[in-house]
Amino acid sequence: MILEEMKNPLIPLLASVKRPGRYAGGEWGAFAKAGGGRKLARICLAFPDVYEVGMSYLGYQILYSLVKTLDYADVERVYCPWPDMEAAMRSARSALGSLESGRPLRDFDVVGFTLQYELCSTNILTILDLGGIPLLSAERGARDPIVIGGGGGACSPAPLEIFFDAFCVGDGEETLPELLAAVRELDGRSREEKLVSLSKIEGVYVPGASNAPTPAAVVENLDGGFVHRTMIVPNCSIIHDRAEVQVFRGCTRGCRFCQAGMIGRPRRERSAQSVADQLTELLGNTGWEEAGLLSLATCDWSGLGELLRAMSEPLVRGNIKLSLPSLRMDSFSVELAAGLEGMRRGGITFAPEAGSERLRRVINKGIDDGDIAAALDAAFRHGWERVKLYFMMGLPTETEADLDGIVEVADSAVHYARANKRRGEVSVSVAGFVPKPHTPFQWEAQATREYLRDRGRYVKSRVKSKKISLSYHEPDQTFLECVFARGDRSLGFATLEAWRMGARFDGWTERFDMGLWEGAFRSLGIDPDPYAARERAVDEDLPWDVIDVGVDKGFLLSERERALRAEPTPDCAGGVCNGCGWSARFPDCGGFGAGGRADAAR
């Protein structure tokens, strides 16, 4: 393979910024192909946050490895510069380029953004502008890159449509190779011809190109699909610094607030042997000494026991720590985690989500007070000294008693710590609820900022134990997240105006300035409150109806009705189909595909 020489135009600026390792490049596993006389379709994967956040996102690593295997395409990366580097680049008139080769973004065929969080939207504009790409799709010409978006945000694309040419919906491994092949084949054609062609690819949504909803692309057999065997190893600390393997996609638990659990369906499992083989290769190819098994609920994976038996000796021999980033709050999960050396460091995290058993039935969380007590007791009994608990406030049907329950759960953690002779440091984080598209709560009104601020103060005032530290999220950020999660196309112009006024890294509390956004809305005559605070009519056309994630609206409505009656819906892994709509398209969804039957799961 012919490699392109590394040319990083930011090198002269590194001494003037904090954390220069974000921009240095040259990591193990990262390289740029030279064409060798052939035209390659070149894509730059852009993550609209800083390096240490983007490098921790597994989907980014999977797509990078995938494109590197294609003989007709190549992939490089870029992350959003922190404001100090942005200022330095503008002062030096330096264009933003990829980490691998320094090629300016405007010289790529495709720039693909990962859309994981609504408050990263202004960072998208920073990357485009520094990269020399017109911000508005309508202003780009034939020689400008095709700008695409993927990830969870692509399932509600309207607020970003004015900036993007296309969105990849669903599993990127299905859409990206075909998209890049089409871009290479259409080289030299007009922009309009390219977009018409891309709109015909399953899972690709081109705004205005079709009257029918775009269905999400799905990798049906995870063992038979692409599996990454190497990863880019960072050259500075990142949030999740480890080798990572995804053990299944989708979720059958059916938590009614969880967008990822709905848009990620159907549930598809990997086999234990496939995961073991991949894990062995990844650790050998990267040198990491820690590995994580990823999914929405890893302890639900039917192959977990088999994998631990198969990998126990090799992991011990290699001094490799194994972690389970997603723990269910029950004693089974804690007992399992207690046997993993990688889980014994630091604290342990649980997400009860709601303070009362009644409200957990409303959101279909699937854990009762007994599960919580057993999990807390087991955690301290097995030696953990610190516990972190995640809750939400502003949930549908919430009462003051539900909020009191948050403190009661935290107090019970202190009790079990004392009973097991542990320090018992309890950290409680309370986030405002955001009703997300494609969930049973998509029609609900969000609680007002005043309510969230008042209730956050109320819960904090109820904490009496010095062992408990409680924080609640900034309501203005929660509000803005909801506005853009449920917004329409006009909000793109508000993003543009806020960015021009200086909004950057709005997901970072220390950078967030609601005054900039209020000024942007005011200057455009947009009232943001109805986007969040208005309950939607069930027969209303919703901005995100242009995307078909495979879950029927009728199912979401029935789940909403059950929620308001505080009726739980059983996990369909138990063998009874709940009729979400996927069985018509994916008949084996109840059997998890290649990794095992539903009755094999715990």
pLDDT tens digit string along 203-220? 999 999 988 999 999 999
Gap between the Cα atoms of 161 and 174, Å rounded: 22
Contact 118, 151 (CB under 8 A): no
Q: What is the mean pLDDT of residues 428-453?
A: 98
Domains and CATH numbers, the chain: 11-215 (3.40.50)
Q: Which two tokens stand for residue 390?
A: 């995640």
Residue 106 has what pLDDT?
97
Contact 22, 236 (CB under 8 A): yes
Q: How many CB atoms lie within 10 A of CB 309?
A: 11
How buried is residue 400: exposed, middle or buried, by Cβ count under 10 Å (0-12/13-18/19+)? exposed
Q: Return the closest-CA partner of residue 304 out of 332, 283, 267, 346.
A: 332
How buried is residue 202: exposed, middle or buried, by Cβ count under 10 Å (0-12/13-18/19+)?
A: middle
Residue 108 banded pLDDT, cuts 50, 70, 90: very high
Averaged pLDDT of the chain = 93
Residue 452 pLDDT class (50, 70, 90 cuts) = very high
The residue-averaged pLDDT of 510-532 equals 98
Q: How confident is the model at residue 345 (pLDDT cuts 50, 70, 90)?
A: low
**Residue 73: strand pairing partners:** 41
- Give the span between the Cα atoms of 119 and 482, in whole angstroms: 10
Asked whether residue 479 carries a pLDDT value surpassing 70, the answer given is: yes
* C-alpha to C-alpha distance for 128 and 284, rounded to whole angstroms: 37
Q: Tell how strand 110-114 and strand 166-168 pair up.
A: unpaired
Is the pLDDT at 36 greater than 70, yes or no? Answer: no
Cβ–Cβ under 8 Å, residues 238 and 285: no
The pLDDT assigned to 602 comes to 33
pLDDT for 601:
35
SS (H, E, C) 471-483: EECCHHHHHHHHH
H helices of 269-399, in order, are 272-286, 304-317, 331-338, 357-362, 369-381
Q: Give the pLDDT score at 337.
A: 86
